[in-house]
A and B are shown apart, each in its own frame.
Chain A
Amino acid sequence: MNRPLNQCVITGPSRNPATHFAATAFSLFYQASTLGIKMEHPLDETATGRFAFTFRTPVTTPVTCDITAWGHDTESAQASENIIQAACGMMSVHGRAGGKIQPLGLHYVSTLTAAMALQGAVAAALGQLRGLTVANTRISMASAALLGASQYIADATVSAASENLPAVKKSECPAPPFISSDGVVFELETLNADSWLKFWTRLEVNPVLAGTGWTAFLLRYAKASAPVPDELSHTLTQISYRDIAALCAQTGMSICTLYTLHERVADQRFKDEWLNGPWAFGLNTDAAHAQAKPLSCSLPLSGLTVVESCRRIQGPLAGHLLALLGAEVIRIEPPGGDPLRGMPPIADGCSVRFDALNRLKTVREIDIKSASGQSEVMALVREADVFLHNWAPHKAAQLTLDDGDLAGLNPALIYAYAAGWSTQDGDARTPSDPIPGTDFMVQAYSGVAHKISQACGSRGGSLFTLLDVLGGVIAAQGITVALLNRFMNRRGGKVTSSLLSAATLLCSEDFQRQYNSFDTQVPPACVLSEVYETKQGKIAVDCCNEEMVQRLLRLLDEPTDCAPPDVHQRLQTVFLTQNASRWLSLLQQAGIPAVAVAEDLSDLPRNAQLQSFLHRGTYLQVVSPWSFQ
């Protein structure tokens, strides 16, 4: 059963939403369709400052969900994908690798917002079933974007002076991905310094230089830049891809070519993944005797218990989102604690990057590889509502902690697997060679890296860990859906999501354009969406249609009949004549979406429209994106 909400209905203006919500609307209705939710399209509303839909189940009263660009007190302010990316620091983080502020080239914030909006509505219905009086949930694109960048924001805003990661020199040649002598663009991956050293030593690279490269290579996860020494990249340009792949096999390195988006859209396996949606649900166990735990506060998941055994970003973020919705999350860490607790920068004895995703959880140190540890996990799971892990493939079975093992203990359990490659066990969508399911490898394999490279004029994808973040969001979303299904239909079972299914979700517009399989419209591309340097500071400007471009040109006393390349050049020249604040004032008066680009994440609180989403502790914390009424 892969349509767990097929008794539910969403009513909303999918056919003609305001232009700046078109991408969010598209993704929302696509995601809802894959969950089996029936769509109803009323007469389209005319409000442009928000996008609203109603979620109905057979057993609850309707829940309305309001989506705005910024906070709800600034509902009239319009902002599209790139405006939010610019204001919330995503362009800054993504641009680090290439040395310039750049849009991601994807409807990333729109997709995140759609997923979290749908999750909020589902959570509200779940709250009703558990006795909560809630009829409305709200979320904004800005709050979703900030949550997506929360680790980077924590890193940039820690107040206490502490040790820094080792300095790495900027490289002239942005890398990775790398390129071979026969022109193949590819990603390398290893989490093992020995493999990295063997690989480069076999290529006769000086070990000290290889070590410098290792530091830069590892830092790409934390810093979104990877200034690997040019000598390393250059070495690979002298060798064929086949030989590099063979060397990887000999030294324990992993390699993945960048597949084109066209290849992926044309691939039946990827089409099937897209048609299926980001989740695989196997909700078949009897939950008739599930204990209905009482709410402990006014959040919809309060009173529910999640046991989490996850590392790094994807799984911990999923647990964090559930905690923000009120769940009690018990986090299992190895004896001595998760080593990432020590990853600089540190505040109050803990990595702020780690804390940003784990601060709301209770920690239990358990050696899950031992029999006694496994018994401890089982004891926790007996009393839990959700078990969430992101272990490597087949590990759960080895640990006797697979879904079948735990369903025997607790049939009402929602067993959630936040995987790397595929939502199906042993599925052919997983690459034939076992390569680690890390963000950058999945970007390369899925076509997302290619899509970004086409939009940005770069060689590869983003070093912003965008799939880890979206993967975490859809994992939490799938769990919330499965919990609602449990309360409605008395079924427990398994829900799987993956980095690959997150990647396919990000490419869903491309699949829809090709196959038109869902009753929802692909959003139109923005006519003009650029970042401009001003006399002081950068601004992002978005014109969703031609009329808006004409209005902009008239405002700036520029001819309205010049070709698009000339428009960009002319606008850049004009914008250099005044400060960003002056331009933003003029553009706002003219009704043209524009915003100051957040180049430094520590400046985010200066943006009044973001202040309500940020909390100043020892670092800048991103608060819950949801509100419920």
Chain B
Amino acid sequence: MSITVIVPTILRPLTNQQKQIHIGGTKVSEAIDQLEQQYPGIKAKLVTEGAAHRFINIYVNDHDIRFQNGLSTCLQDGDILTILPAVAGGSRI
């Protein structure tokens, strides 16, 4: 089981500047937990109160997980998990 995680520039200081990371996990949450084990601090940048952070978009093969099963979205071997900062950035404060 290998998932490719595409890391945005903004988070690369936490991943030793790696752009792509290969990791395991059957759900997005498991993949993030494994990321956290290898790169401590990254989970806090992605998850807050059990859901993806408002300013972070997580895609599985180009599909936003918020429109699937959130952090419980299932992963399959060869899936690409892309992390991107949100575009609009939310409302004014």
Contacts and interface: CB of A to CB of B under 8 A. Distances in A.
User: Do A and B associate with each other?
Assistant: yes
Interface in B36-93: 55, 57, 59, 62-64, 66-68, 82, 84-93
Contacts of A312: 88-89, 92
B92 A390 contact: yes
Interface string A172-213: 000000000000000000011110010000000001101110
A551 interface: no
Contacts of A212: 63, 67
A203 B91 CA distance: 25
B75 to A, nearest CB: 15
A340 B86 CA distance: 8
A222 B87 contact: yes
A221 B88 contact: yes
Contacts of B66: 193-194, 197, 211, 214
Contacts of B89: 191, 311-312, 338-340, 343
B8 interface: yes
Contacts of A311: 89, 92-93
A192 B57 CA distance: 12
Contact of A191 (B64, B82, B84, B90): B90
Contacts of A197: 66-67
B93 A368 contact: yes
A390 B93 CA distance: 9
A376 to B, nearest CB: 15
Contacts of B10: 341-342, 346, 349
A193 B93 contact: no
Interface stretch (A163-171, A234-242, A408-416): A163-171
A162 B90 CA distance: 23
A166 B62 contact: yes
Contacts of B91: 191, 392, 436
A167 B64 CA distance: 12
A339 B90 contact: yes
A167 B62 CA distance: 8
Contacts of B92: 311-312, 390-392, 395
A339 B93 contact: no
B6 interface: yes
Contacts of A390: 92
Nearest to A206: B67
Interface string A583-621: 000000000000000000000000000000000000000
A191 B88 contact: yes
Contacts of B68: 207-208, 211
A339 B64 contact: no
Contact of A165 (B9, B63, B87): B87
Given A162-B9, A349-B10, A391-B92, A343 B85 contact: yes
Interface in A40-70: none
Interface string B1-44: 00000101110000000010000000000000000000000000
A172 B67 CA distance: 23
Contacts of A349: 9-10
Interface in A120-134: none
A424 interface: no
Which of B6, B8, B57, B87 has most A Cβ within 10 Å? B87
Contacts of A344: 8-9, 84-85
A423 B89 CA distance: 24
Given A162-B9, A207-B67, A211-B67, A343 B93 contact: no
Given A210-B67, A369-B93, A392-B91, A166 B9 contact: no
A215 interface: yes
A218 interface: yes
A219 interface: yes
Contacts of A392: 91-93
Which of B63, B67, B91 has most A Cβ within 10 Å? B67
Interface string A335-358: 000111111101001010000000
Contacts of A368: 93
A163 B59 contact: no
Given A391-B92, A392-B91, A339 B86 contact: yes
A349 B19 CA distance: 13
Interface in A299-340: 311-312, 338-340
Contact of A346 (B6, B9, B67, B88): B9
Nearest to B90: A191
Contacts of A340: 85, 89
A58 to B, nearest CB: 39
Contacts of B63: 208, 211-212
A563 to B, nearest CB: 46
Given A193-B66, A211-B64, A392-B93, A163 B86 contact: no
Contacts of A211: 63-64, 66-68
Nearest to A334: B93
Contacts of B85: 339-344, 351
A395 B92 CA distance: 9
A338 B6 CA distance: 21
Contacts of A207: 67-68
A344 B55 CA distance: 13
Contacts of B62: 166-167
A222 B63 CA distance: 19
Nearest to A393: B92
Nearest to B9: A346
Contact of B64 (A214, A338, A391): A214
A208 B68 CA distance: 6
A344 to B, nearest CB: 7
A139 B66 CA distance: 47
Nearest to B13: A349
Interface in A207-258: 207-208, 210-212, 214-215, 218-219, 221-222
Given A197-B66, A211-B64, 18 more contacts: A163-B8, A163-B19, A165-B87, A166-B57, A166-B62, A191-B91, A207-B67, A208-B63, A211-B63, A211-B66, A214-B66, A215-B57, A215-B64, A219-B87, A312-B92, A339-B85, A340-B85, A344-B85
29 contacts: A163-B6, A163-B19, A163-B82, A165-B87, A166-B57, A166-B59, A208-B63, A208-B67, A211-B68, A214-B64, A214-B67, A215-B64, A221-B87, A311-B89, A311-B93, A338-B89, A339-B85, A341-B10, A342-B10, A343-B86, A344-B8, A344-B84, A346-B10, A349-B10, A351-B85, A391-B92, A391-B93, A392-B91, A436-B91
Q: 9 closest Cβ contacts across the A-B interface?
A: A211-B67, A342-B85, A342-B10, A339-B55, A346-B9, A211-B64, A340-B89, A207-B67, A218-B87
